[in-house]
């Protein structure tokens, strides 16, 4: 039997759905306005910038970003064409590829980071008290765990 949402639950679900669709658009607007990279490009640049100096394997990058390998591969090709990412054979076994930032990629992530961090701080953290931030963290963890448990994540 279906357990329908109460009126309050339905309102909360609609608010969450709007938030989940609106936040990526807001991030894209801020990043494109301030630095000419998209939100997904910034996610890749940031993840690769935090990798060891030799670069990161595409499978490891997919795991960090929680993306499918095909999405990472497509994005890396696109960013390589823009001169932001470089690829070379993995030094350990020669079978995979290691992805690293080019100088243009480093310039892009360094240029984008301050505005992006300010947007995140002002939009997500500043409106919440420390207790509300902790409650949000706990709530998101529980929601993700429920999705994982059902094989949806």
- Percent of residues, the chain, with pLDDT higher than 90: 89
**Residue 153: pLDDT band by 50, 70, 90 thresholds?**
confident
Q: Give the pLDDT of residue 77.
A: 95
pLDDT digits (tens, 9 = 90+) for 7-26: 999 999 999 999 999 999 99
Residue extents of the structural domains in the chain: 29-116
Q: Is domain 29-116 annotated with CATH 1.10.287.370?
A: no
**pLDDT of 103 higher than 80:** yes
Best CA proximity match to 109, nearest among 33, 32, 41, 13: 41
In the sheet with 56-57, reading across from the earlier edge strand, the strands are 56-57, 97-101, 85-89
Q: Give the pLDDT of residue 85.
A: 96
């Amino acid at each position: 039997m279906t357990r329908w949402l109460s009126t309050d639950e339905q309102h909360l679900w609609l608010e969450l759905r709007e938030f989940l669709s609106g936040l990526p658009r807001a991030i894209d607007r801020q990043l494109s306005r301030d630095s000419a990279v998209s939100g997904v490009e910034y996610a890749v640049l940031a993840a690769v910038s935090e990798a060891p100096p030799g670069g990161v394997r595409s499978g490891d990058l997919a795991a960090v970003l929680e993306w499918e390998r095909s999405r990472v591969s497509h994005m890396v090709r696109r960013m390589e064409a823009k001169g932001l990412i470089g690829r070379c054979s993995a030094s350990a076994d020669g079978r995979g590829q290691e992805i690293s930032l080019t100088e243009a990629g480093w310039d892009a992530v360094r240029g984008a980071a301050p505005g992006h961090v300010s947007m995140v701080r002002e939009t997500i953290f500043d409106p919440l008290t420390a207790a509300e931030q902790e409650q949000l963290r706990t709530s998101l963890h529980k929601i993700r765990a429920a999705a994982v448990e059902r094989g949806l994540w």
